[in-house]
Structure 1
Amino acid sequence: MANLQEKPVWEAGIYQLETSDPVLAGPDGIDNLQGKQLANRTAFLKKQLDELAGGTSTAAYAAQLRTARQITLTGDGSWNVAFDGSGDASAALTLANSGVKPGSYPIVTVDVKGRVTNGRQLSGDDVPTLDWSKITSGKPSTLDGYGITDAAWRDAERRVWGAAFRANKGDPAEAGDDGAAVGFAFDEDGDTGLFAAKSPVPGRGSAKLMLKVDNLEVLAVDADGALRSAKYGLLHEWFAAQATTLAGYGIADGATKSDLSAVVTGMRTLFAGQVSPRGHRKYPDGQVEQWFSVQFSRRDELISFVFPLAMAEVYGVWPSVMDVEGEVIALLASAPTSTGGTIRTRGIYGGPPDEGTIFIRAIGKL
């Protein structure tokens, strides 16, 4: 006796035996057809179960979990969400604090995961040592720019300013000519300038002050005040110290004190005058200039005036009004005489009475 041969296939249906079917056994007999179809379905279902259990088959998708699950992340960040499979789920991830105080830091420490774990400000040790030639921008061009306050200042014309200057004593002839580091020399010519020679006697300071040109002493002042010239020698020997008059110096064509006194006296006579509010000045050609003032009390007034000095000829009279509001003018009312004349005041605009001063300048001949 043998078993039916089973195949793991899903039969579309189970055959129904008919009354007209003959009785026929065997592997392909109709009597075994229903058994084979059911056995095949059973083998198919068993195969599916075996594959599900063994992990070789994908299970059908579930629409929803029976119990919702809480999904949680911890560590560098915290995140959690409830998920039951019925739909997408999302939540914000909150990063854990790194321990660094919020702020801006030029220097930070980063770990292998790229997290900032520390921050600090710059210090002097953070600045690298660079050659001066590598600094191409931001370099100051003045002493103030470097914060230097104890150096002499030089202006745009290359003049050095300071309260005082000090130079080493010494003769450039003994200290290296053009290369001498003594005295006040000029440009690259180190032996042209002003130099103080050291005294050979200890504690005596300087022996003399020398003016040198290319190391040639052209002028010197000794410690006793004697002035020596390379060309003329001791200059005081050229002075006539005993002379107190022009004649003592052999000068015959100079004016004496009495001559000058006579000239001054003559000038005073030629330009005689009086400096006062009513003054005058005489000139050598006979002309005289006079100045004085008169008062006025209203805008339309006739005021008489008298010259400080009577004049034989009157060349001109010029009145000028001092009025705060500038509304009054003064004019000659008539031709002046040798002793004076009359002035009329006029108001430029209408208004209350004015009062003030009229200054008068007159030129004529005595």
Structure 2
Amino acid sequence: MAIIFKLTTAGRQALVNAKQDGTAARTLVSVGITAAAFMPTDSLAAIPGEIKRIDTLAGDVVAKDTIHVTVRDDGDQTYTVRGLGLYLDNGVLLGSYSQADVILEKSAASIFLLSTDLRVLDGSVDISTLQFGETNFINPPATTERQGVVQLATAAIADALEDATRALTAASVKALFAARALVTRKFTAGTGLTGGGDLSVDRTFSLADTTVAPGSYGGAASVPTFTVDAQGRLTAAGTTVSAPAWGSVTGKPTTLGGYGITDAALSARTITAGTGLTGGGNLTANRTIAMADTAVTAGSYGSAAAVPTFTVDAQGRLTAAGSVASAPAWSGVTGKPTTLGGYGITDAALSARTITAGTGLTGGGNLTANRTIAMADTAVTPGSYGGAEAIPTFTVDAQGRLTAAGVVAVAPPWRSVTGKPTTLAGYGITDATPSARTITAGNGLTGGGSLAANRSLALGTPSTLSSSTTNSVSAESHSHVVDFASAFASKNLASSGYQIFPGGLILQWGRLGHGGTVPVVFPLTFPSSVLIVDVHDDGFAGAAGASFGAINKTTSGFTACCTVPTEGMSYIAIGV
């Protein structure tokens, strides 16, 4: 955005030719700077508080009413800039600009560089005839530490390779390399390589392919085979199955475990002859197991009239044998009948007689064995059913047995419950409020009553507030003290002071003495914004028709202006 600068009357006249019928060519030669904020007017001959004039400037005409100016100061002076003035080659101040905020600050080690558009609002003045001097300073000379302007080297300077300040272009670098390269020198690919050639272009050398298929050769059961040429490259490669002779295998194990055999018997395994046996031993040789002799005399024992007797040990061997005269027990009698009829018995129950279990019973059968008759299980889970809060339920079959049983929660309809109480105490409720409880309206309130019905409480009609009211309450009303002193306590009633009103509105005032352009700092910085600043006559005897104004307004101050320097000024500012 262009800066709007104020033309002076003298500067406007300097742009008009001697015949007063056109423009005159003038050169902008310097820019004056000041740290003071001032009111630009058309009567200025120089800017107030001028620090220095900078004559290193350049620019160009942008439009009839706009020029672009670039100013540079690389001295070691330190200063702050709030105003500018443009000076012509005849020493006349062309125009000026100023603001309360800092435009630019320069330190001793820095370079002042300002580039901006300047525009005039007076449409009757044509500033397009302005001229500018040397412009090479716009950027400083380039160094290894600072960006700036650099001169390009000529072909002769580039070829000498001795200049330390001029820059080489890509074309000059290419020419240097072309001039110095031995383009006719050749690189020849030797045995096993491809590529090469002279240095007129880039060259590439590569290993030539052989007939060997790329891949991995050899493994646990295969041996790689290959052919090598004089350059150490493989010209052939393959594999063959590994088949060494057993006799050439070294480090063979001598134990079953060494070979990993797990299903063979160890030679150290021992066969031991147990009770009644002889022989055995380990498996380092053949072994025989035999029965040991006993004390029984070999021979025949027993006859039709003699019963053989013998003794047997735990291994089933006869350790003693003999015979005794035959004296059979009943159990030894043969040909005995097997039925009651065979024995002639008539008062005994037949074993074929059957006992049958009826409905709900199990067991029974014929009398060939002992029989049991029992009640059959049902699907009912054994246990206790029913209680103070549960009613038992059951299903009975034709035999009077429970075939199903359960419980249901006691849940009689409320209407069927008799003897119900009618009070909170009757139900044992202790955390409810009785309807007899009373809500009483205190001082300043109306309404209330027992809880037998809905109640409302309301503030009584307040008394009218005045400077004499006090903090008080009556049966149906109340009033308050109005603390005007506290509400307006934040203030400074000096000749330059302020008053803070309830709600945040701030009123500030001050007297500024004689007129002109005066920077003003408010007694109190507005927290948010300035709403209005009014500058007016302070009663000094001054020229009639004086104009007053306020520019560069911020929350901390402004610049007061009066067209008559001898006229006194004062101001009122309102903000929040």
Q: Given the two structures, how large is their TM-score scaled by the length of structure 1? A: 0.32
